């Protein structure tokens, strides 16, 4: 039992080495499988807007575990940049909806009773 406890403490410390423990930059931050983004050769302003908007989108409409890592993020100095703001809005919507569907759909499919169903079609 002591070995498991020591291992868990070690994992927490190792995961925090890249930055804050609960940060979007952490290697163990949850990210829905298969979620895509812009290409690496996209304009830097677009990439910045995409990353900020997606981090914000991942902080909404999801369980608390996601909210521990993601929060509202928007660069006030870039808000008047049309490319940044368009990417922010697009990625906010995309990441929010993708995470919502990814997280809650799996919960709905595993539910034994369909009385409380977030994404169930009209039966």
pTM of the model: 0.63
In terms of C-beta density within 10 A (0-12 exposed, 13-18 middle, 19 or more buried), how is residue 38 classed?
Answer: middle
Backbone region of residue 27 per phi and psi (left: phi > 0; alpha: psi in -120 to 50; beta: other values)? alpha
pLDDT tens-place values along the chain, 123 residues long: 778 877 777 666 655 544 455 655 666 666 777 777 888 899 999 999 998 998 888 888 777 767 777 788 899 899 899 999 999 999 999 988 888 887 776 666 655 655 555 556 655
Domain ranges of the chain: 49-96
- The closest of 37, 26, 40 to 91, measured between CA atoms, is 37
């Amino acid at each position: 039992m002591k070995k498991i406890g020591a291992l868990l403490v070690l994992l927490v410390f190792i995961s925090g080495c890249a930055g804050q423990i609960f940060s979007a930059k952490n290697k163990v931050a949850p990210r829905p499988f298969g979620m895509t983004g812009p290409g690496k050769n996209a304009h830097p302003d677009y990439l910045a807007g995409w990353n900020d908007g997606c981090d914000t989108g991942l902080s909404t409409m999801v369980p608390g575990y996601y909210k521990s890592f993601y929060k509202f993020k928007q660069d006030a100095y870039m808000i008047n940049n049309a490319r940044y703001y368009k990417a922010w809005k697009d990625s906010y919507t995309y990441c929010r909806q993708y995470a919502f569907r990814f997280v809650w759909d799996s919960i709905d499919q595993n539910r034994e009773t369909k009385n409380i169903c977030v994404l169930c079609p009209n039966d």
